[in-house]
């Protein structure tokens, strides 16, 4: 028994010596750890030494070019910038231009969540002019957070897909609105013939894109517009609009078959770019000749508009307008065939510097450049 106790005493002494040794090692390790941590804490990552102004500029290049909208959530949302570190979160939240393009088309986000996010973005954008983008249809403007409509005095770019009655909720002045892209769902014959004046008080509105129903119903300050696109419209719907757009510089009409007989001439004295495209199955011949555009520089036209004698029709138009275009695009027939060979156009109009027949080139030029209003030009 005494021998056993003696052995335990020896073992306790041995363990105490080992513990002291380990504690000494731990103390040394903790001291080494503290020194290493101090070096880490004193190091500043180069990206974190950049001035806030430069980081903010980098943030803006992370997003689509304004007025295009980033998604409300996900990798390419400005919200992503708030999840990296405390400093960047504070900087992103305090940068109004990151939140000035508000998307309303996130159909996969529940309404309450979307309303909250829209309110957050509108708050963070402070007093910046804003871009509102709705790429897909929603059932009603009532599904748009009320805050979006209440901020209408800050609307600069507006893209809406809705029904006619929804626009009744938009009232009052739109002092900053410069670009409107509006599509209304429904058929003209099934929609009450009520004129829509929601966008009438927009003193700097310059660029407008309308579908057929919006063109038939909307009242705008036509005389101040410089760029107008009408899609899926009938020629007779275009005439009363174009008669009031004397300051247009750019006009694109995508036409359906309609009443093309006895249409009056339309004089657009400042127009530089005219595009006549078609969705019609039947020919729309003679419509080009109703335009008198003495300042025209660029013409884009589907060959079907020129009828059976394209060169004669084009010559008549140029002579009547007295214009000297620098470039003309001629689109082929739906079948891909041409009525006249490409070289025949060049030979018939030697004074025109450039003819183009390449639809891919036209697409690139249409969508590859933007004017000062952010609208693709060709």
pLDDT of residue 284 exceeding 80: no
- Residue 92 confidence (pLDDT): 97
Are 180 and 293 part of one and the same domain? no
Integer angstrom CA distances of residue 15 from 1, 18, 160, 193: 21, 5, 79, 98
237 is a domain residue: yes
Q: What is the spatial distance between Cα 364 and Cα 356, in angstroms, rounded to a whole number? A: 13
For 64-114, how does the pLDDT look when each residue is reduced to its tens digit (9 = 90+)? Answer: 999 999 999 999 999 999 999 999 999 999 999 999 999 987 667 888 888
Q: What is the spatial distance between Cα 24 and Cα 208, in angstroms, rounded to a whole number? A: 79
pLDDT of residue 26 exceeding 90: yes
Are 225 and 271 part of one and the same domain? yes
The last residue of a domain, from among 184, 210, 245: 184
Which one is predicted more confidently, 337 or 20? 20
Are 153 and 230 part of one and the same domain? no
7 is a domain residue: no
Which one is predicted more confidently, 277 or 285? 277
For 243-252, how does the pLDDT look when each residue is reduced to its tens digit (9 = 90+)? Answer: 999 999 999 9
CB atoms inside a 10 Å sphere around CB 251: 25
Average pLDDT over residues 277-290: 78
Q: Which of 66-87 are b and which e, b meaning 16 or more Cβ less than 10 Å from the residue's Cβ?
A: bbebbbbbeeebbbbbbeeeee
Lowest mean pLDDT among 45-49, 213-217, 319-323, 369-373: 369-373
The total of structural domains in the chain comes to: 2
The last residue of a domain, from among 124, 157, 184: 184
Are 62 and 149 part of one and the same domain? yes
* Longest distance between any two alpha carbons in the chain, whole Å: 129
105 is a domain residue: yes
255 is a domain residue: yes
90 is a domain residue: yes
Are 227 and 373 part of one and the same domain? yes
290 is a domain residue: yes
Are 161 and 290 part of one and the same domain? no
41 is a domain residue: no
The model's pTM: 0.83
For 133-156, how does the pLDDT look when each residue is reduced to its tens digit (9 = 90+)? Answer: 987 655 555 556 678 889 999 999
Q: What is the spatial distance between Cα 97 and Cα 131, in angstroms, rounded to a whole number? A: 11
pLDDT of residue 57 exceeding 80: yes
Are 128 and 259 part of one and the same domain? no
Two structure tokens written together for 171: 């009232």
Which one is predicted more confidently, 26 or 189? 26
- Residue 195 confidence (pLDDT): 79
Query: Containing domain of residue 152, as a range?
Result: 49-184
CB atoms inside a 10 Å sphere around CB 376: 12
Q: What is the spatial distance between Cα 333 and Cα 312, in angstroms, rounded to a whole number? A: 17
For 195-244, how does the pLDDT look when each residue is reduced to its tens digit (9 = 90+)? Answer: 788 899 999 999 999 999 999 989 999 999 999 999 999 898 999 999 99
210 is a domain residue: no
- Residue 308 confidence (pLDDT): 87
Average pLDDT over residues 45-68: 92
Residue 350's φ and ψ, nearest 5 degrees, are: -65, -20
Are 140 and 249 part of one and the same domain? no
CATH number, residue 324: 3.80.10
Are 282 and 376 part of one and the same domain? yes
């Amino acid at each position: 028994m005494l021998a056993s106790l003696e052995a335990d005493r020896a073992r306790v002494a041995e363990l105490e010596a080992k513990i002291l040794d380990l504690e000494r090692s731990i103390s040394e390790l903790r001291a080494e750890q503290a020194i290493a941590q101090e070096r880490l804490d004193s190091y500043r990552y180069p990206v974190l030494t950049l001035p806030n102004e430069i980081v903010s500029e980098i943030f803006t290049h992370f997003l689509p070019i304004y007025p295009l909208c980033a998604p409300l959530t996900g990798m390419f949302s400005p919200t992503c910038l708030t999840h990296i570190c405390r400093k960047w979160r504070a900087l992103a939240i305090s940068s109004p231009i990151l939140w000035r393009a508000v998307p309303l088309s996130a159909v996969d986000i529940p309404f309450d969540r979307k309303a909250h996010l829209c309110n957050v973005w509108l708050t963070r954008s402070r007093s910046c002019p804003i871009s509102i983008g709705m790429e897909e249809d929603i059932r009603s403007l009532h599904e748009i957070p009320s805050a979006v409509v209440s901020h209408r005095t800050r609307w600069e770019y507006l893209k809406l897909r809705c029904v006619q009655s929804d626009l009744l909720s938009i009232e009052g002045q739109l002092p900053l609105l410069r670009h409107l892209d509006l599509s209304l769902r429904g058929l003209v014959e099934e929609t009450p013939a009520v004129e829509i004046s929601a966008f009438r008080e927009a003193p700097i509105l310059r660029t407008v894109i309308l579908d057929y129903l919006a063109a038939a119903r909307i009242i705008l300050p036509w005389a101040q517009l410089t760029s107008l696109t009408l899609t899926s419209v009938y020629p007779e719907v275009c005439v009363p609009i174009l008669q009031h757009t004397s300051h247009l510089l750019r006009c694109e009409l995508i036409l359906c078959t309609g009443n093309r007989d006895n249409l009056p001439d339309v004089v657009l004295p400042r127009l530089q770019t005219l595009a006549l495209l078609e969705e019609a199955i039947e020919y729309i011949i003679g419509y080009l000749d109703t335009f008198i555009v003495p300042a025209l520089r660029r013409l884009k036209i589907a060959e079907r508009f020129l009828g059976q004698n394209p060169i004669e029709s084009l010559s008549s138009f140029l002579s009547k307008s007295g214009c000297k275009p620098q470039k003309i695009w001629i689109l082929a027939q739906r079948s891909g065939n041409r009525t006249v060979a490409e070289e025949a156009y060049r030979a018939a109009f030697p004074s025109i510097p450039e003819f183009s027949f390449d639809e891919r080139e036209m697409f690139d030029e249409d969508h590859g450049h933007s004017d000062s209003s952010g609208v693709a030009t060709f």
